[in-house]
Structure 1
Amino acid sequence: MTVSGHHLRPEQVAEIERHILAETAAGGTASSAARKHSGRECTYQKIAKRMRSEGRLLESDDVLIAAFAEHGEGEAGADALGVPHRIYKQRLYELARRGRLGTKPVLPGFGIGKATTVLGPDGEVEREFIQQRPAASEPYSMPEGFVLKRDSALVDGQGNRVGGWRISEPTRERLLEQMRAAVAGFRDEIPRATSIPAPSHSNDDLLSLYVCTDHHLGALAWDEETGGGDYDLSIGETLLKDWFSMAVKLSPPSRKAVFAQLGDLLHYDGFKSITPEHGNLLDADTRYPKMVRSAIRVLRHIIALLLEKHEEVEILMCDANHDPAGEVWLREMFAAFLENEPRAKVQTAPGTYSVVEHGDVSLFFHHGHRRKVGEVDSVFAGKFREVYGRTRYSYAHLGHRHSDELKSTPLMKVEQHETLAAPDAFAANGGWLSGRSAKVITYHKLRGEVGRLILTPEMVAGASNSQQRAA
């Protein structure tokens, strides 16, 4: 650094800066610091000026008060001290709040909140009271990618807003975008599945649909409270393995299988056990990382079973209300994991509605949190117009409400599926009662549905252990 024709090494500049900071903290100036340390006064002053412009040197309160008394809070006061106007105003606001600038006139950073005048008997002014309050800061603008979550307002007697606060949160699209970006960043690090030998025989005309919905891994239920059975992470994982072990064994040798995981596989979507959209508290059994590991482990087990039985496996993981972000990373990670398995396909489209075509049969899927049984058929027909127009038999499958319901409309059959999971306290105490089962539905590519297998938790208990012993 060159100052007044003299070249200073970085360590010399740093030492002068320390001298200046120590001196000004004690009420002195850059000039007095130069005199104390036998330095060039012009050198110390120029370094101090640079420090002020960078906001690293704050003048003493007395110097600022004197500048305010002479120049006010405008740029003239900042220029007199050689500091940026923004920093000058900030220091004045701090002094005003500490009462160092008096009470008259209206202080920098304050506004008149209330004025009171006391008059004498003849109308003369005897006393005046001025109440000052901190002035509003700069206008608030919503950060990009955020939306207003809650707006609380403080109003006066006339209904005018005089204060309040706003709470913002990231948009759902921003959260999903961040999740997709994170997944894309480490997809290459995910190990690939080893290829599984194809079955020796299958029926080309048949498709087996394995429906799994609202399994809520990580939920906690106490049978004594709910009357619907105990439930926790370990029970949920074992139940899925048992069910698929039995279902795959009993289902026909269809050439194609569709694993329709209709959403809410995970009970919650992050480190807080709440629903992401409405913040409802949930009864949770475990830590989020343990739940993630359980989900990955059980899905790998299920997909391996399906590949052993069927020549082609298509996997859906539907967008849902308990785990919208979780379904995103599950889709993307399993698409990467199965990249080298040509017989498996994961649908990675981020939309809320999905479709599978099989000959003259069209199968539509939606979790059920956006559209109900009686109003979703037209959405499917409209969104997948070409598939719907090509097929003769159309079936829609939903979850969400944990109970069975079937409705035939002029457009298609719409079926809502119950869950294998035990009800939690919220469902049991609210009176939302249902059975517990899951289905394998068989479709013929020319005749539509030709059979179904319904299995309850009691029917499949221990099936995965039996399969391991047989192997």
Structure 2
Amino acid sequence: MPTDLEATASPATECEKDFREEKGTLTTRSANITTLAAALKYSEVDLTEWEVERHVINSWEVTISGKRSSSKRDKTYTNYQVKVWLKKRQPTIAENAAEQFRKLVASHSPKKFIRPPRLKSGGYLYELGITDIHLGKLAHSSETGWRNYDSKIAAADYRNATDALLSRAPQGTEEILIVLGNDQFNADNVASTTTAGTPQDCDGRFSKVYRLGVNLSIEAIEKALHIAPARVVIVPGNHDHLTAWHLGEVLRAYFRNNKHVTVENEATPRKYVHFGTNLLGFTHGDRKSELKALPNLMPREMRHVWSSIRHAEWHVGHFHSQKLIEVAGIAVRTLSALCPPEAWHSENGYVGSREGAQGFAFHRTRGLEETFCHNIISEPLRLVK
């Protein structure tokens, strides 16, 4: 046991704090508090409100003469000073998005949801095949040689495509299949890059484009409900892998009390929809090895229903052009893009593909019976003197 003299001589813990509106400092002096984490814990700093800008740790030795202690031996202590500079935390993008969503949900509390009409006879699944919207993409006609494009134009194109394709839904539609993601967003972060970090030409703040994408998706689902229950499948793209997933979570929460809407947002790389004797597979199409393997992947991954399947298709995006191949009775269909080329695509010659979207009517037993096209007229611009 230390004597009273030793207890007095050994270094006690001191803590000084000075917090203003946006800045703060704290200093601890002790033999026991030797790290930043220990200083923050002892000082009871609320790290949900404050974050560390920088810190400094100093130390020095103090020796107590043995003449002043009962042990008659000199004793050396190491004192530590931890000084920390702090600043008020700013909400992260994710926190801002979460707050926007909370406000969105709070502002939309319908007393009753849209109820699809009752069907006298069914038989059809109708798919809205709208891919590669690239919300937030910026393209100037004077630079690309093709039509202008920005978030406002993209939103108008998406609404027009949705309205046009929904108007072609066949009588007896049991369910509207809405595929979202698939490069619905041009960038995946505030740095305006793709998921892999490739810089993009963007026309606005990430949070603004994200909110626009959420609202457009909600609009499309609610329009579909006037025809039939809606089934939403989220397919992440190489431009929006994370953002598409967040979109799916928002939609799942938004429509959580509506039994006429289902949102499928699993983290699996490929999604499947089973309807009667039809099996539809969805992936973005940017992974070359996966693309080649699609006809073999479907029967392996869906073996529990494969014996009942008579009509099988894959629907992919990414290539901004239409293409259809068939391997062992399984169709791999590449859908057109809704957007025009921006500077990079134009410079590299990736131009001239038909812009638009497709609607597909699948009969429960007879398979694909009708395909509808919504085309956007986009002619090359020629500057004539």
Range of TM-score over shorter length: 0.7 to 0.9
Matches of 1:81 and 1:417, distance apart in 2:
77
Relative contact order, higher structure (CA 8 A, sep 6+): 2
Could you say which residue in structure 2 is the equivalent of 1:430? 348
The equivalent of 1:292 in structure 2 is 210
**Equivalent position of 2:272 in the other structure:** 355
Give unpaired runs (5+ residues) of structure 1: 6-40, 65-78, 89-177, 460-471
1:21 paired residue number:
none
Normalized per residue, the structure richer in helix is 1
Which residue of 245, 250, 261 corresponds with 1:344?
261
Q: Number of matched residues? A: 312
Residue 234 of structure 2 corresponds to: 317
Contact 2:195 2:242 in 1 (8 A): no
- Secondary structure in structure 2 of the residue aligned to 1:47: coil
Asked if the contact 1:211/1:262 (under 8 Å) is kept, the reply is: no
After TM superposition, list the pairs within 5 Å mapping 1:264-279 onto structure 2.
264-277=183-196, 279=197
Closer/same/farther in 2, CA of residues 260 and 59 from structure 1, 3 Å limit: closer
TM-score w.r.t. length of structure 1 = 0.60
Q: 2:11 aligns with which of 47, 50, 53?
A: 47
| Contact 1:179–1:329 (CA under 8 A) maintained in structure 2 | no
Q: Is the 8 A contact 2:361 2:371 kept in 1?
A: yes
Q: Is the 8 A contact 1:207 1:442 kept in 2?
A: yes
Equivalent residue in structure 1 for 2:317, among 354, 374, 399:
399
Residues 378 and 411, structure 1, Cα contact 8 Å, conserved in 2: no
Residues 276 and 322, structure 1, Cα contact 8 Å, conserved in 2: yes
Deviates more, 1:382-391 or 1:353-362: 382-391
Whole-Å Cα distance in 1 between the matches of residues 58 and 271 of structure 2?
62
Distance in 2 between the 1:309 and 1:49 partners? Answer: 71
Residue in structure 2 matched with residue 305 of structure 1 by the alignment = 223
Paired residues for 1:32-181 under 5 Å? 45-47=9-11, 51=29, 53=31, 54-55=33-34, 58-59=59-60, 81-83=76-78
Deviations 1:197-222 (A, max 9, x none): 32254651111111111111001011
- Write the distance in 1 (CA, Å) between the matches of 2:166 and 2:244: 24
Contact 2:181–2:244 under 8 Å retained in 1: no
Aligned to 1:333: 250
**Selected match of 2:283 from 351, 355, 366:** 366
1:236 Cα deviation from its structure 2 partner: 0.6
Share of identical aligned residues, percent?
22
What is the CA-CA distance between 1:272 and the residue it aligns to?
0.7
The aligned residue for residue 439 of structure 1 is 358
User: TM-score when scaled to structure 2?
Assistant: 0.73
Superposed displacement of residue 357, structure 1: 1.1
Cα 1:363–1:179 change in 2 (3 A) is farther
Deviation at 1:392, TM superposition (A): 0.7
Distance 1:339 1:421 in 2: 31
C-alpha separation in 2, matches of 1:257 and 1:308:
10
Q: Is the 8 A contact 2:355 2:377 kept in 1?
A: no
The structure in which a higher percent of residues are strand is: 2
* Cα deviation, residue 248, structure 1: 1.1
Q: Which has the larger displacement, 198-207 or 393-402?
A: 198-207
The answer for the alignment partner of 1:259 in structure 2 is: 178
CA contact (8 A) 2:126 2:175 kept: yes
Answer yes or no: is the 8 Å Cα contact 2:115–2:260 preserved in 1. Answer: no
- Return closer, same or farther for 1:331/1:46 CA change in 2, 3 Å cut-off: same
| Mapped partners of 2:194, 2:214: distance in 1 | 21
Is 2:336 aligned against 1:418? yes
Alpha-carbon offset, residue 232 of structure 1: 0.4
Q: For the Cα contact (< 8 Å) 1:210–1:440, is it kept in 2?
A: yes
Query: Structure 1 residues 331 and 227 mapped into 2: Cα distance closer, same or farther (>3 Å)?
Result: same
CA contact (8 A) 2:155 2:216 kept: yes
Tell me how far apart the structure 1 counterparts of residues 264 and 155 of structure 2 sit (CA, whole Å): 23
SS at match of 2:147: coil
The answer on whether the counterparts of 1:314 and 1:346 sit within 8 Å (CA) in structure 2 is: yes
CA contact (8 A) 1:359 1:445 kept: yes
- Write the distance in 2 (CA, Å) between the matches of 1:306 and 1:210: 10
